Structure formats: C-alpha cells, structure tokens
Amino acid sequence: MKIEILNLDGQVVDYLDLPELRYIRSDLIRRAVLSEESYMYQPKGNYRWAGMDTSARFVGREGIYGSLKDQGQARLPRELLGGGRYGRVRIVPHSVKGRRAHPPKPEKVLIEKINNKEKKLAMLNAIIGAKLFVVRDLDSVSKVKDGKRVIEKLIGEIDVDRKRITGVRRKRKTRAYKVPVRVTVVTENNTKGFDNIPGVRCRTVKNLMVRDIAPGGEIKNRKLVISENAMRELLSKLIDI
C-alpha cells in the first residue's frame, strides 16, 4: 500500500510504502487505549483497621458478666467504659465512627496489561485507520503561525466552533469551554510549531500513544499529520510484529 508524501504546501513529492491490512482492528485499538488509560488511575485504599481500632465488643451470651442481652438496648458492639459500663455503638457500618461496609481496597489491580505485539499492532491499525497526511520537513516548523498555515493547507480550517460548556457552574470560570481535538500532529522531536493551536494535539515519536491518535478507542473521523522522519521511525519499530 502506497501513501503520498506531501511538502509543506500540500503538494505530492514522493510515495511511501505502508504494510497492507485486511481490515482495521477497532477492538484492538480500544483495548490498547484502555490499557494506556489504566496506568493513569490513582490507587485508592483505606487504613486496614479504620473503624475497628476501638474497645467496643459485643457479648450476647445470657447470664454472664458484661452481657448485652436483656438490657433494653440494641444488641450491638459498644465501647467499654470503667466500672463495667458500656458506651456508644462502634465498629458496625451504620454506627458513628464505624467501619465502611465495602471500602476501596489498596490491593485491587488497576492496571490492565497488554502484550507488546498487540500494542504495536494496535498502533499500526490506528495510524492506517486515521486519515493520514505524511509531510516532509514538518520538523522544521518552529513557529505557531507557520504551523497553523501548514495545517490549513493540508486539512483546511479546523472546526473549533463546536466548543461546549464542560459544566453548569463552569460558565463563571476562565476555562468554561472545552474545544474538541480534531487533529493529531506527530513530529520527530520538535513540537513548538503546533503546541498552542486550538483543536490540535502535538506529540513526538517518543511520547506517542494510541490514545493520542484514537481518543476513547474511536478512530472514525480522526486526522493524523505526521512528519516523514517520524513515520519512518515509527514503521521501523512497528514493522517487526
């Protein structure tokens, strides 16, 4: 499969060979995205003995010292006070300062791993499945005005008018509107020319993830602008699968 290599003005200057895929594995793309996002979760967990570190106890046997049976009060674990008296109910989940019924467990496994070959195949599917523009000398663009001009020549004006409010109360904040990302730009090492363009996300080859190309695992209507050097470097990493 051959794809056009364009210059900064959008004219065809050469062709590049890409591997043939019978169909796009959208399920594999989604799995890779979920795996990448799982590494960003923050582990949560409570103190193991939270709500249990108390003198409260329950004795339900009738006729023995300290029994709570036939006392005219709820038969629940209560604090031990001096002189054989009992205090407030503790430990049980519905009591004040009691333990939680089902707290988050620190030992829960949050990370969803994926095989290296599957991840490489997902990246290759995402690249080929997106609307791809391979551009020569894209790494030389170092100013935002030049980067915007290149994007407009390749794709046209970016749809940033469909901004949406991210929350009712956010209307009063400076970041009230969220602009959807329409284009992903990948360069070899220089991102200065595309960093601050609304609707554009820029990544280097080293930092590129599947979720940058297909956010949420969806590849439909995604546009990918990649430099020729970055494309060759990516193919050299992915082609050995």
Q: Is the dihedral of CA 179, 181, 183, 186 positive or negative?
A: positive
Closest CA to 123 of 17, 10, 16, 236: 236
Please state which CATH class domain 2-41+111-239 belongs to.
Answer: alpha beta
User: Residue 93: what pLDDT?
Assistant: 96
Q: What are phi and psi of 221, to 5 degrees?
A: 65, 20
Contact (CB, 8 A) for 227 and 186: yes
- What's the pTM value of the predicted model, to 2 decimals? 0.76
Q: What are phi and psi of 144, to 5 degrees?
A: -65, -40
> What are the residues facing 177 on neighbouring strands?
165
At 228, list the tokens. Answer: 């020729």
List where CATH 3.40.1370.10 sits in the chain: 2-41+111-239
Residue 23's H or E segment, with its range, is none
| Pairing status of strand 164-165 against strand 177-178 | antiparallel
Q: What is the DSSP letter of 192?
A: G
pLDDT tens by residue, the chain, 241 residues: 888 999 998 888 999 888 888 889 999 999 999 999 999 998 888 888 999 999 999 888 877 877 888 888 889 999 988 887 889 999 999 999 999 999 998 889 999 999 999 999 999 999 999 999 999 989 899 899 999 899 888 887 666 555 566 566 656 666 556 667 778 999 988 888 888 888 888 999 999 999 999 998 888 888 999 999 999 999 998 886 5
Residue 168's H or E segment, with its range, is none
